[in-house]
Structure 1
């Protein structure tokens, strides 16, 4: 046993000795280091205030020895100012970015490019962790500050703080007709103190958005997992989390005094399980089919769960909204609500002139009722009306 421990210790020391650390303080130094690093190496950004960086980072580590890009001291490396391109664009694999503070950045569009603070583009098993994003402002509607896109897989955004950001989307999993990042994990982040956006109809202020086009691309399966995040006073828009794709899971998230809901805006076959809602405007809103809504706790919200009317039904018909169908709503605990479960909201709402029917060949009357949903074994406490069906 003694020989075994000695051998193991020597191996660890050998690995540590072989790993190199590159300390950088400007983009040129960073790019030279990025072109040199091997699995297990570190790029350390010196403490200080920075602006006008736009880095493409193609580094490749391994599962056992990722490439680490980190602040010299967590939160002491601060990026601010205008960003018209991605400050950090990860395009490789097994690369971890940590400890960076993004404060007071202006996210702008210029010369055909869009400002993003961190982008994972076709990357695989890359990680954004322990970073802070505060008081960053989007200058155009529908602009995110963190994007996971391309045909990558296994990327992770975790243990980050998103605080008092302005007129933006925080985390976007970007889905197109040809690119669907797979198995993205968004976990253990804190989103808080997000004011209502200034944009028309108060749209474009989601904290987490999985997919962007639920009408034409809602059937795209991203298989994302959003779990163990905290959303406190998030009032950016009616959708705190916006699901617009298929096969995603939303588990054990906590919502407190948010003026918005966890929304299945589109897509199918999602799991919404063991989330907690305390106060605020809304709980869970459902469009689409074959969603499972179980073990959620919803307290002190006027209407806890809403199943919506649509313009179409199923996974084949095109509708600006798809009626909630074949969903399972069970084993949820709902307390201190006016209506616990509303089956059939937005009945006969007329959307004529409110969306482009050439782009979205959909009927404009929201008159297809929720259908074939299984609702039962829910527990109600101090609820005025347990279920309303329209």
Structure 2
């Protein structure tokens, strides 16, 4: 294998028969879009990397497919582009902190990690880390259709399933897309996914019984939409936590989450610096837009400014449905500056209260349980009731089109095909379509 990797050229395929292998570096090997270099198992999952370390260095258009990884070293993609890691099973052998896959170096871009299974991580480090150079994150990378499961126990820091960027490069633009992934029992870090750069998209993922949140920890202008957060009543399960400027959070569904504060279903948090300061700080929220989300029976649904001293500024919470039986459905722990509430429908039951005055309609949205989520039923007051214009909200959580005056909440009542739904193990990973 070593000789074949050293001589790899466009269109070459290196096929690994069943068995155990030690792997090494692939250096300055460049395929093309039409003729990539491929390293693949003859039979999926039966070529096992038990030793060595793969670093794809200064290379392009390389696909690594179908392998099982049980070795003890990080798979590195360094200063490379159009590298794909697919249909592989990662269950690395750990004795101390270990990142499993890292994308790094200048100028890395357009790499893809897809249709893999990552499981049983119990030491510090991430399943996937996207870094870059000293001042620029790797750009336009895609993480999709992976199954992440069983990471923990809970650590204070440095045990995310995915980390995108880091503090020192958090003002660079990532343009990373994380989509169609399933996270199950990802309990390692308070941030299941930690986004630390600008202009990233997290969409169409499912988070099941996972402690912590998807955190927009640093950076600006990211979008979080079409995700399902299903806590199942498990302790510490959360949704989305936000810092920074101009983020959009829409068409997400949150149910059965038990977290509060850092782990609330939606936390538009306070900051400890304003528009300048240490890059590792919690930057004040400006102009966050949280619209057309649905919250069902969470311990804490929408929280504003639970932590730190600088409340959010010029933000919007509109056209959301919030149903719950405890606490304040919208909980301002700090008074935001120039917050807009509009078009929200809240239905407090049990001991719950609305929590804010004005711009919230108290009405039963007539939700109907269907396929693990609750959608608006016939005659719901949410139908055609959205207010304001949010041009980016063109579809709902099911990826059905929004038409005319949109419905309130994540669901648009529609007969169009449902093409986005809560993911199951069969929908992702090595054997998925």
| TM-score, structure 1 as length reference | 0.78
Does residue 11 of structure 2 align to residue 37 of structure 1?
no
Q: Check the 8 A contact 1:196/1:205 in 2, yes or no.
A: no
Partner Cα distance (2:26, 2:288) in 1: 43
Does residue 357 of structure 2 align to residue 386 of structure 1?
no
SS in 2 for 1:258: coil
The residue that corresponds to 2:306 in the other structure is: 345
Deviations 1:93-138 (A, max 9, x none): 11100011012x33xxxxxxxx41x211111111000011015326
Partner Cα distance (1:135, 1:148) in 2: 17
Does residue 157 of structure 2 align to residue 203 of structure 1?
yes
The residue that corresponds to 2:286 in the other structure is: 325
User: Larger % of strand: which?
Assistant: 1
Match of 1:248 among 179, 191, 200: 200
Deviations 1:63-82 (A, max 9, x none): 1121111112111111225x
Does residue 127 of structure 2 align to residue 170 of structure 1?
yes
Q: Check the 8 A contact 1:211/1:218 in 2, yes or no.
A: yes
The residue that corresponds to 1:310 in the other structure is: 271
The residue that corresponds to 2:412 in the other structure is: none
SS in 2 for 1:329: strand
Q: Check the 8 A contact 2:92/2:100 in 1, yes or no.
A: no
1:176 shift after superposition = 4.0
Partner Cα distance (1:100, 1:57) in 2: 20
User: Larger % of helix: which?
Assistant: 1
Q: Check the 8 A contact 2:6/2:26 in 1, yes or no.
A: no
Segments of 5+ residues of structure 2 without an aligned counterpart are: 259-263, 334-433
1:383 shift after superposition = 4.9
Q: Over aligned residues, Cα RMSD in angstroms?
A: 1.8
Deviations 1:305-326 (A, max 9, x none): 0111111123x44461112221
The residue that corresponds to 1:87 in the other structure is: 54
Partner Cα distance (2:57, 2:25) in 1: 8
Does residue 138 of structure 2 align to residue 181 of structure 1?
yes
Partner Cα distance (1:202, 1:266) in 2: 18
Q: Check the 8 A contact 1:186/1:226 in 2, yes or no.
A: yes
Partner Cα distance (1:203, 1:317) in 2: 21
Partner Cα distance (2:40, 2:27) in 1: 13
Does residue 105 of structure 2 align to residue 152 of structure 1?
no
Does residue 84 of structure 2 align to residue 127 of structure 1?
yes
Partner Cα distance (2:54, 2:79) in 1: 16
Evaluate the alpha carbon distance shift between residue 79 and residue 34 of structure 1 in structure 2; reply closer, same or farther with a 3 A threshold. Answer: closer
SS in 2 for 1:255: strand
1:144 shift after superposition = 1.1
1:260 shift after superposition = 1.3
Evaluate the alpha carbon distance shift between residue 138 and residue 252 of structure 1 in structure 2; reply closer, same or farther with a 3 A threshold. Answer: farther
Partner Cα distance (1:39, 1:88) in 2: 18
Equivalent pairs counted in the alignment come to 320
Find runs of 4+ consecutive structure 1 residues off by over 4 angstroms: none
Partner Cα distance (2:161, 2:128) in 1: 6
The residue that corresponds to 1:23 in the other structure is: none
Partner Cα distance (1:344, 1:225) in 2: 27
Partner Cα distance (1:160, 1:343) in 2: 36
The residue that corresponds to 1:261 in the other structure is: 213
